[in-house]
Amino acid sequence: MPVGGAALDLVGVPLPDETLSVAKQSDAILLGAIGGYKWDKNEKHLKPETGLLQLRAGLGVFANLRPATVLPQLVDSSTLKKEVAEGVDLMVVRELTGGIYFGQPRGFSTTEKGEEIGFNTEVYATYEIDRIARVAFETARKRCGKLCSVDKANVLEASMLWRKRVTLMASDYPDVELTHMYVDNAAMQLIRDPKQFDTIVTNNIFGDILSDEASMLTGSIGMLPSACLGESGPGLFEPIHGSAPDIAGQDKANPLATVLSVAMLLRYGLQEEYAAITIESAVLDTLNNGFRTGDIFSSGKKLVGCKEIGEEVMKSVIKLFRNR
């Protein structure tokens, strides 16, 4: 189904009603990257990204899970020193449908002096904080039992409420170690000592920024999948990267984030754990065999395009299924 720029070209809106209707009736949704230079100058309601926000809101997916794992095969692709990057395995749980991206009032106005202003509102209700906190605690419980809540509670009232509600919920999870960190410190610590983190929970805008920062610990944004989950209904699974219009049609893009998003779809959306593990193992097998796209290429490896590395993953999937 069309969404984003494809939908704009087809029917003139970034999220057609039919697309949302079909999505709601699905078991799970795999979303391709959206956007491109062609639509950058469109008015806000006609930008591809608006379709993505509308899709998330329409599906009620409020929890964005973004893993950032430095694979042994790609540790040299990280811009950090090997001893810092090696062994990093963290999960960012981002609140997705509240905060400053959705808060009202928002817009443009003019002051009494005739100066134009733009304004947005950072606002969170207790239920929005509680439900994302519960997802984060449950996620941390399944991982290493450590949860770091990131906020700006020394300045922002919305963050003060955030910290209060997350702290209250901690009593329901005595097996999870909860810590708090201001967002500016968290941004520094992700670079200084990323292995201190296991699971991070934070609001929409902080999560948007920190998860992209965390992605670069791995060496390339082209390696990272994500899952967007709600309380009911289908989940939305997508790579965290954009559409890379500068290399469109050149067979250069790294498809592995999308492939790994399929693995997350199988695990979280369809409860098909074996299939998810098979796909993840096939990606590792492909990397072990030395195949690399340009964004993760290093000396001594085989540089290939999007199509060829995809074919290599498929070969590994078939081999793993035959050998099970």
pLDDT tens digits for range 272-281? 999 999 999 9
How many residues are there in the chain?
Answer: 324
22/236 Cα distance (integer angstroms): 13
For the cut 90, the answer to whether the pLDDT of residue 115 exceeds it is yes
What whole-number distance in Å separates Cα of residue 103 and Cα of residue 123?
6
For residues 115 and 91, is the Cβ–Cβ distance under 8 A? Answer: no
Q: Where are the domain boundaries for CATH 3.40.718.10 in the chain?
A: 63-240
Query: By mean pLDDT, which of 33-37, 168-172, 190-194, 289-293 is the weakest?
Result: 33-37
How would you label 5-19 residue by residue, b for 16+ Cβ within 10 Å and e otherwise? Answer: bbbbeeeebbbbeeb
Q: Catalytic residue numbers?
A: 101, 152, 184, 208, 212
Res. 163 pLDDT band, cuts 50 70 90: very high
Please report, rounded to a whole number, the percentage of residues in the chain having pLDDT higher than 70. Answer: 100
DSSP-assigned letters across all residues of 248-295: TTTT----HHHHHHHHHIIIIIS--HHHHHHHHHHHHHHHHTTEE-GG
In the block, tokens 């993505």 appear at 52
Q: Which tens digits make up the pLDDT trace of 120-134?
A: 999 999 999 999 999
pLDDT digits (tens, 9 = 90+) for 169-190: 999 999 999 999 999 999 999 9
Amino acid 255 reads P
- pLDDT score, position 82: 92
On the question of pLDDT at 58 being above 90, the answer is yes
Q: What pLDDT does residue 305 have? A: 97
CATH architecture of 63-240: 3-Layer(aba) Sandwich (3.40)
List of long-range contacts for 257-261, beta carbons under 8 Å, 24+ apart: 257/221, 257/222, 257/223, 257/224, 257/225, 258/30, 258/32, 258/33, 258/225, 259/283, 259/310, 259/313, 260/223, 260/224, 260/225, 261/30, 261/225, 261/226, 261/227, 261/237
